[in-house]
Structure 1
Amino acid sequence: MTRGRLWALVLAVLLLGCGAAGYTLRAAQRADGGGAVAGGEGAFTLDGPGERLFVRDTATGRVALARGRNRVAGGPVCDRFHAAGPTALCLRRRPGVPARAYAIVLDRELREIRRIALPGIPNRARVSASGQVLSWTMFATGDSYASSAFSTRTSILDLRTGYLIKNMEQIPLTIDGRRHHAPDVNYWGVTFARDDNRFYATVSAKGRTHLVEGDLRAWSARALRPNAECPSLSPDGARIAFKKKVSDDPATPWRLYVLELRTGRERPLADRRSIDDQAAWLDDRTLAYGHAGDVWTSPADGSGAPRVLVRGASSPVLVR
């Protein structure tokens, strides 16, 4: 073989190797959601005139802007999504075993500003009205609240200080007027008041679930009432939507309720189906939630009837 042909062969091998390496790298980036940048494509942002409804598009896994029956799915890839003020929170699963994920903090342009590696399966995500305090829940064991064999890990991130509470189980808990010390505590489904200090959440302890009210500055939480999960505080701060266990049938255990904080009165929504979601308030009168692969709405006062808002979607949030 001549020297020229030898160099041509070497060059061809190198080009093929580089091409394969490049393809492998791009494939790995796609599997991890597109590499280091978690933002949307092109001009897809949270900004825009008036109120805008965002959802997770099931077909693409991307955050989408819902416009009537149409949607624009140009946002980041997320398994759970929420946004408020200048901040969005995207929970994204990572490939591989054991289960793991990222909590990705985004600005209103959907540009990544912080990324936190997490163990487990993404489950709940919430951003306070100011956009300054965030919370997420991961399934550490199991993948459903309908099973007794599950464990959660819920975190709170304060963007004002950068302080991260990795596990809310550290917060001192009071149940029935007594400090609860047992190691069987699980928190999930946090929702924040407008002062960025008070919060509500679900806690499981002694084999029962409770709605708890917490105080970040005082570093404390107390149980308010039993049998209340995945709370969502209304924009006016007067009511909490939650799911209540109404059946021992693992296929249909829950129904959505709304609690008036001042009176303690609760009423069920007109939707009698079993809803496993942390409902979102579209306004002080209307709730949105995921069920059977679609986003539905129901009046918060228990009147009317449920209706489909967005097909093939989840994680609804109205951005103002």
Structure 2
Amino acid sequence: MLENNAPPDQVIPFPKQATVAYMDGFLQAVRRVRLLENSPIIFDLRATTEISPVFVCFICALRDLAQERGNSVSLYMPRNKRVASTVRAIKPLFRTVGRPSLRIADRMLQVRKITGNNPQPIEEILELLGDRSGLPIKPELRFNILLVMTELLTNAIDHSGERALYVCAGAWGKSRNLHITALDFGVGIPQKIRTRYLEYADDADAVRALLQTGGLTTRTDRAGGRGYKTIREVLQANRGRLFLFTGRAKAILRYDRYEHLFRRARKEFGGTCVDLQFNLDGGALYSNMTGSTHEDIF
């Protein structure tokens, strides 16, 4: 722990909660870490009162980003004792390349840093959460989740300049949903949005079009894939939730409440954060009995 009189530019505050309303705090932390090299950095969590898969992804990714730039990282722990105990459970993830299982309040979370376009870590996550942790993930829903996460992985690895995707998945709190956050710090998706959707001056309108048409691909045999369109359709059929933050846009789609919001973000994010909630009692758009593959569908 560093002294409280550390230079202000080296103390990076984390937001109070990892919710849509506080996302700008994470984006500000990314920008500040990117400006520092070979310095001691403090992640200031004193005001943090709630932790979620979004929080876990950001703190792990920011720690890695800081160390890649030659910085050392320490923490100001949360004042809230319950949250502080959760952060202590997360801290071992910092020192472990493989990202082990994390059990919080009798709910198992799975955290991974995936650096190759290989869906096996995602398959392992779903197996551990379902078969071994007891979450009732039906086979068809598992197939749909794997499709969505494989597409997000492909986007991050193929489009991103940094070639890494952070994934945190598990049940959270009293929610009946399976929460999965996927985060990358690459600039791929924001750049693709701006080059493909030139007719839109606002990133929020471009993201709306992205979710309607799919639109992003690295394939040479066609102009655009179905990617985010199919992700949206899967969550819609499931009555789940989709939150997307990229560029200067944020999309909030709650299909269990029929709420669809597209807004211009106050701060730009040179990366992509997708926060998903799958309804464990909801429907599944695709069946794993048809023999269809990710390549066929997307």
Same fold (TM over 0.5): no
**Larger strand proportion, structure 1 or 2?**
1
TM-score bin, normalised by smaller chain: 0.3 to 0.5
State TM-score, norm by structure 2: 0.37
Q: Which has the higher contact order (CA 8 A, sep 6+)?
A: 2
State TM-score, norm by structure 1: 0.35
